[in-house]
A and B are shown apart, each in its own frame.
Chain A
Amino acid sequence: MKNLSKKTLNKSFVTWFYGNLTCFSQEHMQTFGYLCAMLPIVEELYEKEEDKKKAMDTYTAFFNTEPQIGTLVVGMTAGLEEAKANGQPIDGEAINGIRAGLMGPLAGIGDSMIVGTLIPILLGIGLGLSSGGNPLGAIFYIIVWNFLMWFGMKFAYFKGYELGGKAVEILVGEKAQAIRDSIIMIGTIVIGAVAASWINIHTSLILPGGGELQKTLDGIYPKMLSGAAVVFCWWLMTKRNISPTMVMLLLVVIAFVGVLAGFFDPGLSY
């Protein structure tokens, strides 16, 4: 009975933690990171060069997902490879089937939960701590983010290794769905606050009666123009399918026209 040592599993984890995207190409995104992470596992499990080669061959297949949540898959395959080396009825093809099946769904969860929600929440709080040039916000983000990811990814790796296929339940079960939904809610509220605190769109237009349009708008709903600009950009991207870069260019045109029309005037001089 072959058993992977804790040391080998740790080496595999650290290799993945650091090297998952270091040799990225459009053709084979995380494949080389994956190969390097599996190498310590394969070297410990198999004696013969021939067997090692056969095992490594499994992991030459294309791999790409959100690499941080994808740690779970690396841990799972370490467990599966161990089972395979002990003669259980699993072959390389089955392992690759599982890998390929998990790549897409995990990328979706990772992109929306980690990159689209957790990072914006932490950055939002960091921005809040940075007012007046205070370095506390950046330090807060560096410490909290790296702490969460190091231990979170380690947890995912070893859970994947222990539970194998059952590990997926942690991420897609009913309870997980409710937790995800609630965390996204925090993220959306924080982003609302970020938008209100950091977007400063002002108009310099003077109304015919002599009043300032900006004051009138603020009287109706504070920071109305900033909120409206967000909804407008969202509408362009989701309902009109315009890419973010094109939206930015469109804003250049809007700014130019707005300046000419006297709607925008930053009011600066050297």
Chain B
Amino acid sequence: MEINILQAVLLGICACLSSMPGLGGTTFGNYTLGRPLVAGLVVGLILGDVKTGIIIGAAIQVIYIALVTPGGTVSADVRAISYIGIPLAICAVKGMGLDPDTAQAQSMAAALGAAVGTLGTVLFYGTATMNLIWQHIGWKAVKNGEFKKLYLVDMGLPWISHFIFSFLPTVLITMAGAGMVDIMKSYLPMDGIAMKTLFTVGSLLPAVGVAILLKQVVKKAVDFITFFFGFTLAASMGLNLIAAAIIGSFFAVINYKIMMLQSKKTAPAGPANDDEDEEDI
């Protein structure tokens, strides 16, 4: 499968918009276009295969379901995962003749996406470092009272950083990468150790994504019960995610009521508490 120059350019623009610090803004850029699930749809539209795009985007999304960047440190770069990793994974899955809707194809996509995403952190630090130049111009503007220039510094000049660290790498790698699949096919047989390991890694990786998320909410072993409650709903009882979310909400309401009752016990209800009383009826 080939990626032509027009498709690569479109992917490159999406990469500029979607990264953290992206030019689509935090909410619509990083947290919408940058999420692999959404990128699967966007890349699928660009490459003309929405179905494969969504399946692969969803498979990669599980690994990065909790991509928090506390204090601006990243362990993976969304522009690389979403707009370099997903196109390459689509090419690889199609080039190898795998059915995208199988666990094997999704493992392959997960492994590729994670590898590209981790390498992509270089792009994050590159962009952030280059922005220092624009900020330097900004400080001068503040000093001289030319405040209008701040808009240019905040929203205009970073396009240059993104041209170098988002647009170019995406265009070059996606165009070159599409041909790599044939080389892989001829040198790495599917039943060899390397490919077997690659597919196995892909099946293990989503566990890391889920564990990163649990790191915040599970402090001791007992806290795992809530997690395994949801796990059992899906694995043993066969419920889908919407059904699980509704059952989760039911328990959350109970939890809320218990907590409000507790707080009332500890602090005897005074006249100031009347709005809390309404909640308990």
Do residues A230 and B72 form an inter-chain contact, with CB atoms below 8 A?
no
Q: Which of A1-9, A77-85, A94-102, A134-142 contacts the other chain?
A: A134-142
Contact residues of B between 121 and 158, Cβ < 8 Å to A = 125, 127-129, 131-132, 134-135, 138-139, 142, 145, 147, 150-151, 153-155, 157-158
- In the complex, whether B180 has a CB less than 8 A from a CB of chain A is no
**How many angstroms between the C-alpha atoms of A269 and B51 in the bound complex?**
23
- In the complex, whether A86 has a CB less than 8 A from a CB of chain B is no
User: Which A residues are CB-close (under 8 A) to B104?
Assistant: 266, 268
- In the complex, whether B4 has a CB less than 8 A from a CB of chain A is no
Interface string of B6-48 (1 = CB under 8 A from A): 0000000000000011110111101110010110110010000
Q: For residue B199, which residue of chain A has the nearest CB?
A: A266
**A121/B227 contact (C-beta < 8 A), A27-B132, A35-B154 known:** no
- In the complex, whether B176 has a CB less than 8 A from a CB of chain A is no
Interface string of A157-183 (1 = CB under 8 A from B): 000000000000000001101110111
**How many angstroms between the C-alpha atoms of A33 and B208 in the bound complex?**
33
Interface string of B55-82 (1 = CB under 8 A from A): 1011101100111101110011000000
Contact residues of A between 182 and 220, Cβ < 8 Å to B = 182-202
User: Which B residues are CB-close (under 8 A) to A254?
Assistant: 204
Contact of A192 among B22, B76, B216, B234 (CB under 8 A): B234
Do residues B226 and A192 form an inter-chain contact, with CB atoms below 8 A?
yes
- In the complex, whether B172 has a CB less than 8 A from a CB of chain A is no
Do residues A270 and B96 form an inter-chain contact, with CB atoms below 8 A?
yes
Do residues B260 and A137 form an inter-chain contact, with CB atoms below 8 A?
no
Q: For residue A183, which residue of chain B has the nearest CB?
A: B252
Chain B min CB distance to A32 (Å): 5
User: Which B residues are CB-close (under 8 A) to A52?
Assistant: 145, 147
User: Which A residues are CB-close (under 8 A) to B100?
Assistant: 133
User: Which B residues are CB-close (under 8 A) to A188?
Assistant: 214, 217-218, 223, 226-227, 230, 248
User: Which A residues are CB-close (under 8 A) to B27?
Assistant: 17, 68, 145-146, 149-150, 153
Chain B min CB distance to A173 (Å): 10
**How many angstroms between the C-alpha atoms of A270 and B107 in the bound complex?**
16
- In the complex, whether B5 has a CB less than 8 A from a CB of chain A is no
- In the complex, whether B193 has a CB less than 8 A from a CB of chain A is yes
Do residues B256 and A222 form an inter-chain contact, with CB atoms below 8 A?
no
Do residues A22 and B158 form an inter-chain contact, with CB atoms below 8 A?
yes
**How many angstroms between the C-alpha atoms of A203 and B193 in the bound complex?**
16
Do residues A178 and B260 form an inter-chain contact, with CB atoms below 8 A?
yes
**How many angstroms between the C-alpha atoms of A259 and B71 in the bound complex?**
38
Interface of A is mostly: helix
Contact of A185 among B131, B210, B252 (CB under 8 A): B252
- In the complex, whether B173 has a CB less than 8 A from a CB of chain A is no
Contact of A193 among B31, B35, B234 (CB under 8 A): B234
- In the complex, whether A105 has a CB less than 8 A from a CB of chain B is no
Q: For residue A197, which residue of chain B has the nearest CB?
A: B234
Chain A min CB distance to B265 (Å): 12
Chain A min CB distance to B250 (Å): 9
User: Which B residues are CB-close (under 8 A) to A36?
Assistant: 150-151, 154-155
User: Which A residues are CB-close (under 8 A) to B66?
Assistant: 115-116, 119-120
Chain A min CB distance to B191 (Å): 6
**How many angstroms between the C-alpha atoms of A258 and B257 in the bound complex?**
48
**How many angstroms between the C-alpha atoms of A58 and B232 in the bound complex?**
53
Do residues B62 and A194 form an inter-chain contact, with CB atoms below 8 A?
yes
User: Which B residues are CB-close (under 8 A) to A221?
Assistant: 235-236
User: Which B residues are CB-close (under 8 A) to A178?
Assistant: 255-256, 259-260, 263
**How many angstroms between the C-alpha atoms of A212 and B241 in the bound complex?**
29
Q: For residue B96, which residue of chain A has the nearest CB?
A: A270
Interface string of A50-69 (1 = CB under 8 A from B): 00110011001000100110
Do residues B72 and A26 form an inter-chain contact, with CB atoms below 8 A?
yes
**A223/B128 contact (C-beta < 8 A), A111-B68, A230-B207 known:** no
Chain A min CB distance to B211 (Å): 3
Do residues A196 and B234 form an inter-chain contact, with CB atoms below 8 A?
yes
Contact residues of A between 213 and 256, Cβ < 8 Å to B = 221-223, 226-227, 229-234, 236-238, 243-245, 247-248, 251-252, 254-256
Contact of B26 among A21, A39, A137, A139 (CB under 8 A): A21
**How many angstroms between the C-alpha atoms of A197 and B59 in the bound complex?**
11
Q: List 28 A-B contacts (CB under 8 A).
A: A20-B26, A21-B20, A21-B25, A43-B147, A115-B31, A116-B217, A121-B245, A146-B28, A182-B253, A188-B227, A188-B230, A189-B244, A190-B241, A191-B213, A192-B230, A193-B234, A196-B231, A226-B207, A231-B224, A233-B211, A245-B118, A252-B201, A255-B197, A256-B193, A260-B193, A264-B203, A268-B195, A270-B185
17 more contacts with CB within 8 A, not counting A128-B241, A223-B231, are A27-B135, A35-B142, A64-B71, A111-B216, A124-B245, A150-B27, A189-B226, A189-B248, A190-B241, A191-B213, A191-B227, A195-B227, A195-B230, A226-B235, A234-B214, A248-B208, A259-B196
